[in-house]
């Protein structure tokens, strides 16, 4: 089986991986509150926790 004669340096491997970039986060604007938030995440608006445009949890 063929093997490399010398070990590749860390910088050489890292240079190869620089082309993989993370994409921008998916943000949307809520139709109810108008708040910009991450998709599929709960968010606060006026100290009330919202998810899918509805308040979440019990306010006692």
Q: What is the pLDDT along the chain (60 residues), one digit of tens a residue?
A: 788 888 889 998 888 877 777 788 889 999 999 999 999 999 999 999 999 989 998 664
Q: Evaluate if pTM is beyond 0.85.
A: no
pLDDT in the model for residue 22: 76
State the Cα–Cα distance between residues 56 and 52, nearest whole angstrom. 9
- Taking CA atoms, 5 is separated from 2, 8, 14, 16, in Å, by 9, 9, 20, 19
pLDDT in the model for residue 31: 92
């Amino acid at each position: 089986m063929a093997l490399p004669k010398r070990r590749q340096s860390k910088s050489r491997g890292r240079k190869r991986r620089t082309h993989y970039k993370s994409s921008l986060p998916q943000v949307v604007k809520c139709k109810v509150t108008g708040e910009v938030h991450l998709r599929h995440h709960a968010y606060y608006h006026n100290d009330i926790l919202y998810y899918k445009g509805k308040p979440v949890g019990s306010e006692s």
